[in-house]
Structure 1
């Protein structure tokens, strides 16, 4: 399967607010996630980071009673336009979840190519074979599983399952990859491998990652946005900018307190 030559994509949220029923959880969040960069979303639990991430690929609307306002634009095109199909938005903006979620009874091989059927992409057997090797190599997993492609995905270790999910997400050629605390359930060795994978992937895909690990945010991201929900108010961005500046010379005292572990 030939690699599609696509320019790296910029994702732009403009005045995004979100509700669960009548409860407002995000207020007027605007953020540019630059093409070919890793943007980390940081902040205490309950400040709307994961909700914001799910809004970026139209998963928020799956929750009964959920609603939102504002725009999310991929290279200037609003992904919530009425004529745009949800499946097209999710194909271009992939997601890797906090807990590895391979299809447990499905083989490693079939896990990788599962998204092709969902998005209606038809390929030959040879193209599928090439795609599986390519995506598992990019996910840093090929050498470990190339002799186990017919084993169930659920038989892999936790770290391997998470990398399998990354490979599965890459198979449909997304332009943006969203990662919701992808290392929170993993041991330090698996975490390091995922971080290496992120560094390798960002030359081909724009990455947005939610993390509660400040050392990880400092290691893997180029840009950083600090979310906070104070005194029962909805989550909002306090400050955002280059990661080095956010950690070394933040403009807001609350950012400094959070990144240096004084709360959260």
Structure 2
């Protein structure tokens, strides 16, 4: 894609080491991502490596472009009529925006869990989990499909709670259960990356804890990128953080990124310290 900006690119620290040995998932890399809604520029040349085997948290105040960046990572940004972007998004070195790359394949590789749980309310729990198979052209026989449903619900920490009512509507579950059902649905198409946009913001503390446990358990199977405004959550679940900021009507950009422990204990930029310690945002 052609870059539409002539501004100086922000210099960022070197990315963390490549994928952790012995894990599944894929390394996700954003290169010089800029984004617009009409003439309004919302992101300016954002580059970030999100290695397999690690959980990456995107932090920063509202309006700094975190969710826009997340949606760019699986080609949801282009669904907005006025939206445009420049840069590259690579999954194990392959640009999902390159000519000839199919949208359905990008969505299969890179799943999304939204802020508000969005199961199909009238569809059964079982059918919710398997709904993505038809959309992505994956065919499975009955027994294999049964095994897949159990596997994905177990990975999402929901199997023991719903195994005796798989044919009941997904909309009858609690909010926290619905969010875990959405995670199971995303896992069913075997994604390499799972994006999460504030997945716990509407949940009670118990449901939040279960979602966080699920994130940590899944990290060795699928690359996870999470947007969160909860600094305690970022500290608990992530291995690396990227701090986004948009100052004085400028587009959002990454101030700094690095290992979570370093970002919270000894960030290199005072703005990061101010944010993680709650002095603004």
- TM (norm. structure 1) is 0.97
Residues 159 and 214 (structure 1 numbering): CA distance in 2 closer, same or farther, change over 3 Å? same
Residue matched to 1:258: 275
Contact 2:24 2:53 (8 Å CA) reproduced: no
Q: CA deviation at 1:8?
A: 2.7
What residue ranges of structure 2 are gaps of 5+ in the alignment?
Answer: 1-21
Q: Per-residue CA shift, 1:24-57, capped at 9, x if unaligned?
A: 0000000000111000000000000000000000
Q: CA deviation at 1:7?
A: 4.1
Is 2:70 the partner of 1:39? no
Residue matched to 2:180: 163
Equivalent-residue separation in structure 1 for 2:98 and 2:60 (angstroms): 30
The CA RMSD measured in Å over matched residues stands at 1.0
Aligned partner (choices 107, 116, 123) of residue 106 of structure 1: 123
Q: CA deviation at 1:6?
A: 8.5
Residue matched to 2:99: 82
Aligned partner (choices 187, 191, 200) of residue 204 of structure 2: 187
Equivalent-residue separation in structure 2 for 1:117 and 1:164 (angstroms): 17
Aligned partner (choices 40, 47, 50) of residue 23 of structure 1: 40
Aligned partner (choices 84, 88, 95) of residue 71 of structure 1: 88
Contact 2:128 2:185 (8 Å CA) reproduced: yes
Instruction: Write out aligned runs for 1:137-152 (5 A).
Output: 137-152=154-169
Contact 2:88 2:95 (8 Å CA) reproduced: yes
Equivalent-residue separation in structure 2 for 1:208 and 1:51 (angstroms): 13
Aligned partner (choices 238, 259, 281) of residue 221 of structure 1: 238
Equivalent-residue separation in structure 1 for 2:53 and 2:79 (angstroms): 28
Q: Per-residue CA shift, 1:146-192, capped at 9, x if unaligned?
A: 01101111000000000000000000000000000000000000000
